[in-house]
Amino acid sequence: MSNYALVHLPKPVPTVEYFEKIKTLSEKYWNEIKLDKLLFGYQVQPKSKWKKGLSEEQLQEFEKVMGFEFPLPLRNFYLTMNGLDKPCINVYGNSGEDAAFQPIFYSFPDDLDLIKENIDWIYKKNKTDLNKLKKAKASRIFPVHGHRFMLIDEPGFPILSMHAGDIIYWKDNLSKVLAVEIFPDIENEHDFLNISEKKRWVKFWLE
């Protein structure tokens, strides 16, 4: 349990209205937080805010450079917010190592190269590419938060945690993953559980 109050969130649906509510509540939450100086890993900096969402024209350009039409949840997310105005920070647990900075919510066009690098890194580590994915009828992927990737071609667009060859099912959808990655204490946490808390079967990407 953190030192911050429980937050009650709307039920996770892939609408602009849902993402707007998450945007408002997350900015309020980040305005109140302090850095955890004992934490290893990237954390959102206090006072961070979301960048303005993309216009329809910008979103179409984003889709064009990625080479595919975004699923509705991803479109609505980027129409509402487009990464943060500050990079996230890793203080390395107050070990004395210099802090590092990088985004964990990706913006267009600023983080386009990083988005592509993350995708290519997963492909390389799993010895695959777009042609092999197509032949195997496996889904393309897109990073939505750090190493959490959306399965673009899978029904429901579930999210996998993908770090090199370490791949596990993470959350049923973007709406759920966005909430649980931002807020440590959700009052109605039952709304954000996976449909089955047992390890859900999906055609596990390359299998």
pTM for this prediction: 0.92
Does pLDDT of 112 surpass 70?
A: yes
What gap in Å lies between CA 158 and CA 177, rounded to an integer? Answer: 9
What gap in Å lies between CA 23 and CA 79, rounded to an integer? Answer: 12
pLDDT of residue 174: 98
pLDDT of residue 205: 79
Does pLDDT of 37 surpass 70?
A: yes
pLDDT of residue 1: 42
Does pLDDT of 3 surpass 90?
A: no
pLDDT of residue 206: 77
pLDDT in tens, 121-160: 999 999 999 999 999 999 999 999 999 999 999 999 999 9
What gap in Å lies between CA 115 and CA 141, rounded to an integer? Answer: 10
User: 180 CB contacts (<8 Å, ≥6 apart)?
Assistant: 171, 186, 192
Classify 170 as helix, strand or coil: strand
pLDDT in tens, 50-109: 999 999 999 999 999 999 999 999 999 999 999 999 999 999 998 889 999 999 999 999
pLDDT of residue 195: 84
Across the chain, mean pLDDT equals 92
Q: So where are the chain's domains?
A: 16-192
Helices of type H across 81-200: 112-125, 130-136, 174-182
Q: Token match 């993309």: residue?
A: 54
Q: How confident is the model at residue 204 (pLDDT cuts 50, 70, 90)?
A: low
Q: What is the architecture of the domain spanning 16-192?
A: 3-Layer(aba) Sandwich (3.40)
